[in-house]
Amino acid sequence: MASISRQFAQWVSKLRYEDLPPAVIDRAKGVTLQAMASVLIGAQTASGKQALAMIADEEAGVKKGATLMVDGTLVTKGGAAYANSETALSGGKYDTFRMLTHPNTAIIPAALVAAESTGASGKTFLTGVVAGYEVMERMAAEFIPQTMSQGFHPGPVFGIFGAAVAAAKIMGLNEEQLNSTIALCASLASGNLESARGGGKALREGAATRSALLAVTLAQGGHTSADSVLEGEAGFYHAYCGNNRGILNYSFVGDVKANLDAITANLGKEWMFLETLYRIYYTAGYNIAHIDVPAAICNDNNLKLEDIERVEAVVNWMETQYPSPAYPSRREDGDARIGGTAYFTAYGVVKRGYPVTAGQQIKEADAPPDVVDFMKRVTIIPSHKMTLFGPRFTIFTKSGKSYTRQSTGREFIWDFDTHAKRISGIAGSLPIPAAQYEQIVAACRGLENEARADKLVKLTLKP
């Protein structure tokens, strides 16, 4: 059997826009819009401004490069990849795949750099995005908790593969070059946990996106690598997961073994990309259900706050020990705190929703008193049997009745139009006019008809 990287390279090199099912194309448009929204928000944050200013100062003045979104400066391709990824990460409007990876913060910035440098069409861009997502998520799927337990953040560790494959496909690399690109990513992948655990700031997808462009450039220039780099005895899975046999110490649902052959099974027939969901609120992905599902229970049963006694939520055990039970930085099943899971559950019950414009930092003075009061009546119960992002909520009333609803974990997987509507509230908080943001939405919706995908980059620039 061909190696994992070889199978991916063969599939990606042959993939055409016409091969993509409508649902896959629709999702590619959605994750692009989500990333564009995050870049626009993130460019206004302190960390986003810092990234843009640093790259504009250090790497401007090139004849051929790529554009810093929102800022407009032409810089090196690697610099644009880094800064645009950092602003996407700072903006908080991620997509989420299995809790601990956020593919659009790496894949979309890399894809846009590649599209701008080659003049790629919307169809070519969408095809590259889909290829990047499918490769990244298949590589990561069963190994995310295990990678985290090794001290690596799986977001950048796997994100580099998605970013590189997307860019390589858009830039027209052949099978051999794609195979080398994937192998080179194994040497460039990184993302350590300790800095964030120790109170510092982690270096994440920004560095991975920049390194992804380096891998593509090296492969395009003739740098070759062995086919066995991923699954070999000293390869990627050995280095980042502790072994190349699929043996797991940690998994979301208690599995102790993963099959490496399954990583490439049914490529182009079954789409793991369709599991990607949208994190429209600035909070950990596992908290999204804690806002929307209790709100729906209350609305559907006409429950008033004064009638509710308490709430219980049974959740996947890993959602209570972030980012990993091996190295937890916070627990969600202890005393309720502002910004924790119980807080967001209370917000859903009390306010029946959460502002899409709210940022990461929640000041105690800004937390609604009725939400803070009610969160003390929310109990978070960890379980090894619950599906990821699929908590079971029970709302107990003072009259003795109770209402239970099991989340599926797929409530936040929407088509493009639903997604665009759900995040439309951000339009008034962006550095561009609301009408210009609507142009971005329209361009994403009709990307297959755009002669140049980098129209999206230009639409982020201030008038």
Residue 249 has pLDDT above 90, yes or no: yes
- At residue 327 the predicted structure's pLDDT band, cuts being 50, 70 and 90, is confident
Residue 56 has pLDDT above 90, yes or no: yes
Cβ(116)–Cβ(170) under 8 Å?
no
Handedness of CA 454, 458, 459, 460 (dihedral sign): positive
In percent, the amount of the chain with pLDDT more than 90 equals 87
- What pLDDT does 193 receive? 86
What domains appear along the chain, each with residue ranges and CATH number?
A: 4-279+415-458 (1.10.4100.10), 286-406 (3.30.1330.120)
User: Average pLDDT in the 52-61 region?
Assistant: 97
Residue 112 has pLDDT above 90, yes or no: yes
- What pLDDT does 99 receive? 86
Give the model confidence (pLDDT) of 419-438 as tens digits. Answer: 999 999 999 999 999 999 99
Residue 194 has pLDDT above 90, yes or no: no
User: Average pLDDT in the 131-145 region?
Assistant: 97
- At residue 172 the predicted structure's pLDDT band, cuts being 50, 70 and 90, is very high
Q: What is the mean pLDDT of the chain?
A: 95
- At residue 64 the predicted structure's pLDDT band, cuts being 50, 70 and 90, is very high
- At residue 360 the predicted structure's pLDDT band, cuts being 50, 70 and 90, is confident
User: Average pLDDT in the 95-107 region?
Assistant: 94
Listed range (190-194, 344-348, 380-384) with the worst mean pLDDT: 190-194
- What pLDDT does 322 receive? 83
Provide the residue type at 287 as one letter: N
- At residue 409 the predicted structure's pLDDT band, cuts being 50, 70 and 90, is confident
Give the model confidence (pLDDT) of 75-93 as tens digits. Answer: 999 999 999 999 999 999 9
- What pLDDT does 298 receive? 97
Residue 206 has pLDDT above 90, yes or no: yes
Handedness of CA 196, 199, 201, 203 (dihedral sign): negative
Peptide bond into 323 cis (omega under 30): yes
Alpha-carbon gap, residue 454 to 457, rounded angstroms? 5
Residue 198 has pLDDT above 90, yes or no: no
Residue 440 has pLDDT above 90, yes or no: yes
Residue 65: phi and psi, rounded to 5, are -160, -140
Which residues is 312 bridged to in the sheet?
Answer: 379, 394
Handedness of CA 13, 14, 18, 21 (dihedral sign): negative
Alpha-carbon gap, residue 65 to 78, rounded angstroms? 8
Residue 134: phi and psi, rounded to 5, are -65, -40
Give the model confidence (pLDDT) of 266-321 as tens digits. Answer: 999 999 999 999 999 999 888 989 999 999 999 999 999 999 999 999 999 999 98
- What pLDDT does 361 receive? 84
Residue 302 vs residues 179, 183, 295, 370: alpha-carbon distances, Å? 56, 56, 10, 19
- What pLDDT does 1 receive? 84
**435 CA to centre of own chain:** 26
User: Average pLDDT in the 113-125 region?
Assistant: 98
Residue 328 has pLDDT above 90, yes or no: no
Residue 253 has pLDDT above 90, yes or no: no
